[in-house]
């Protein structure tokens, strides 16, 4: 058995509803975006949604544009959004004052780092497949139905391969 590195484990999380994501994150906009930015990002997202290049549905992209263009609904969306910066940009100014706005990542190390899963082995050893198959016992057929054994032997002379079953009603073809 070769010890090739296993493929990395990719976890998919359930998508959040559009109301929780908010229109700003759906369109990829800052909260202080002007009309031109809104329309440009909306057009890019519409193209990508029509080409199925992203997981966001086209109706969610249009919903986000409607919310942002309506001043009352935009104000409510700014307050209850996963994008934590406020419309006045106070968090962005705070990041700039600490010299973080020009960098892609902060200069400090995160407290909780993810462990690489490529070299991970579960603490419990996996059983050998041959041992498992040897340990399986077929149930005894009831004596009340003596023809069952003959029928099973005639229809299942070897192990059943679900991909090789012929479901054609005409046995000649």
What would the pLDDT profile of 73-101 be if each residue is shown by its tens digit?
888 887 776 565 655 666 677 777 776 66
Domains of the chain: 18-82 (1.10.287.110)
What average pLDDT is seen over the chain?
76
| pLDDT given at position 97 | 74
pLDDT of residue 95: 72
Summarised one tens digit per residue, pLDDT across range 4-32 is: 667 777 666 667 788 877 888 888 887 77
Distances (CA, A) of 150 to 3, 147, 156, 159: 45, 5, 10, 15
Give residue 105's pLDDT.
Answer: 60
Checking if the pLDDT of 103 tops 60, the result is no
If one compares 119 and 155, the residue with the highest pLDDT of the two is 119
The pLDDT tens digits of the residues spanning 28-65 come to 887 778 899 999 999 999 999 898 888 888 899 999 99
Q: Which two tokens stand for residue 136?
A: 């399986």
**Angle (CA) 10 15 17, round 5°:** 170
Name the residue with higher pLDDT: 119 or 170.
119
> Picking from 66-70, 108-112, 153-157, which range would have the lowest pLDDT averaged per residue?
108-112
Query: Residue 94: its pLDDT value, please?
Result: 74
H runs (alpha helix) in 13-155: 18-21, 23-27, 35-50, 58-69, 71-79, 90-97, 129-135, 147-155
């Amino acid at each position: 058995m070769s010890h090739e590195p296993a493929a990395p484990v990719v976890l998919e999380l359930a998508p959040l509803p559009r109301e929780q994501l908010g229109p700003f994150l759906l369109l990829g906009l800052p909260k202080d975006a002007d009309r031109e930015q809104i329309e440009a990002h909306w057009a890019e997202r519409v193209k990508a949604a029509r080409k199925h290049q992203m997981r966001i549905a086209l109706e969610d992209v249009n919903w986000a544009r409607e919310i942002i263009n309506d001043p009352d609904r935009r104000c409510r969306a700014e307050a209850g959004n996963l994008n934590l910066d406020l419309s006045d940009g106070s968090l962005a100014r705070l990041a700039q004052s600490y010299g973080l706005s020009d960098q892609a990542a902060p200069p400090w190390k995160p407290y909780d780092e993810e462990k690489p899963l490529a070299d991970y082995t579960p603490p419990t050893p996996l059983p050998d497949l041959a041992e498992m198959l040897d340990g399986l016992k077929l149930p005894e057929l009831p004596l009340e139905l003596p023809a069952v054994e003959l029928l099973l032997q005639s229809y299942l002379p070897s192990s059943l391969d679900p991909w090789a079953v012929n479901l054609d009603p005409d046995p000649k073809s």
